Amino acid sequence: MHDNKQGTCMLIDAAIPGDRNMIKKEAEKILKCTDLTIEIHRMWNVKANVIPVLLAATGTISKSLRQYLSNITGEHKIKGRKKK
């Protein structure tokens, strides 16, 4: 998503990993896109961020998904059960 008015670009990288190691997969996604964010910053002179969206095959979502989604403009909800 590229926003000329705010000077930002968000790279949304979605995946459905088969294993339960969500933290490791999130870090891999962010590291994978690091060079791309630097290149976008140089070419378009905007601030670029990576937003990893992970949903495990078992239905597990990452702990930081809500934080990442709050950076995206517009309405969005995460429905489901909360841990007690």
Question: Residue 45: pLDDT band by 50, 70, 90 thresholds?
Answer: very high
Q: Residues 66, 69, 73, 75: is their CA dihedral positive or negative?
A: negative
Predicted TM-score of the model (pTM) = 0.74
List, in sequence order, every residue forming a beta bridge with 51; answer none if it has no partner.
Answer: 12
Cα 47 from Cα 64, distance rounded (Å) = 21
Work out the average pLDDT over 56-65. Answer: 82
**Where does the chain show beta strands of DSSP type E?**
2-3, 8-15, 47-54
